[in-house]
């Protein structure tokens, strides 16, 4: 087993900056990698076949939500019955997430936006892509409503990068927060995911490839082996507050 370094929110922002500015790996590419892996992890949690399986995707308007929108596109292409529930009206999305949403609109994907009194449709799995690693303080507004709706469902929840409502650096659980069956984090584990208090909300932890070069980590003083030689998603064991993977 190999003990992985973990990243604070600020360190993850630096990884994102280096990927874009130094390695010319654009946000669109990172989001596509994240979303496709999220769809793949959804397929694995549904016994390897998503055809005609109902999946609900909860998507905010940030980059985390954009990853959820990419996953929704792949799942639709694979035959899943996907229902999209957004935190905001489509015209309020900007940048790359808006681009991802426009693709789904062109596909006539079934989507709605959160409003008071909304109920989740039945689902075999819920994807939580409401809030990313940059959360500070309690979720509010429709994001908070979606978190509460997700937790009220009997379906398992798969969170992207971090459960919505979790401080990705310190591990504090804000109110409300998603209680996930599994979390698929990106690049390297966020330190907050490894906190003992966070474990009930994180569930089984997985790590997914977004194509960060090893040389990037070396620039940050981190020694990271080729984690994804065998698979683009690897399970992570949390042992005494450390992230361990088989290499």
Q: Provide block-wise average pLDDT over 10 residues at a time, the chain (247 residues).
A: 91 94 96 98 97 97 97 98 95 97 97 75 96 88 93 96 96 96 97 96 98 93 92 96 89
Domains identified in the chain and CATH numbers: 2-245 (3.40.50.10260)
Region at 108 (left for phi over 0; alpha for psi -120 to 50; beta for the rest): left
pLDDT at 216: 95
Residue that is written with structure tokens 């569930």 in the block = 203
Beta bridge partners of 183: 159, 205
pLDDT at 117: 60
pLDDT at 1: 83
pLDDT at 218: 93
pLDDT at 208: 98
CA distance 213 to 80: 32
CA distance 190 to 197: 14
Contact assessment for residue 58 and residue 83, using Cβ atoms and an 8 Å cutoff = no
User: At a CB cut-off of 8 Å and minimum separation 6, what does 164 contact?
Assistant: 60, 128, 130, 131, 135, 139, 143, 146, 147, 177, 178
| CA 32 centroid distance within chain | 12
């Amino acid at each position: 087993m190999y003990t992985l370094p973990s990243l604070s929110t600020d360190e993850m922002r630096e990884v994102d900056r280096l990927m874009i500015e130094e390695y010319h790996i654009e946000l669109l590419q990172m989001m596509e990698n994240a979303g496709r892996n999220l769809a793949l992890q959804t397929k694995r949690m549904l016994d390897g076949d998503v055809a005609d399986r109902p999946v609900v995707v909860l998507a905010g308007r940030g980059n985390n939500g954009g990853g959820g929108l990419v996953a929704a596109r792949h799942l639709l292409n694979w035959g899943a019955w996907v229902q999209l529930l957004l935190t905001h009206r489509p015209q309020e999305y900007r940048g790359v997430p808006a681009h991802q949403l426009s693709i789904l609109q062109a596909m006539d994907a079934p989507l709605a936006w959160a409003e008071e009194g909304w109920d989740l449709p039945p689902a075999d799995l819920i994807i939580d892509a409401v809030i990313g690693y940059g959360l500070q303080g309690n979720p509010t507004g429709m994001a908070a409503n979606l978190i509460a709706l997700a937790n009220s469902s009997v379906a398992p929840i798969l969170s992207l990068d971090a459960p919505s409502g979790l401080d990705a650096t310190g591990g504090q659980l804000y109110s409300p927060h998603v209680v996930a069956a599994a979390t698929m984090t990106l690049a390297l584990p966020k330190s907050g995911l490894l906190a003992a208090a966070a474990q009930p909300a994180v569930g089984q932890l997985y790590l997914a490839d977004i194509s960060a070069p090893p040389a990037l980590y070396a620039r940050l003083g981190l020694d990271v082996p080729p984690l994804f030689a065998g698979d683009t998603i690897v399970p992570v064991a949390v042992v005494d507050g450390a992230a361990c993977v088989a290499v």
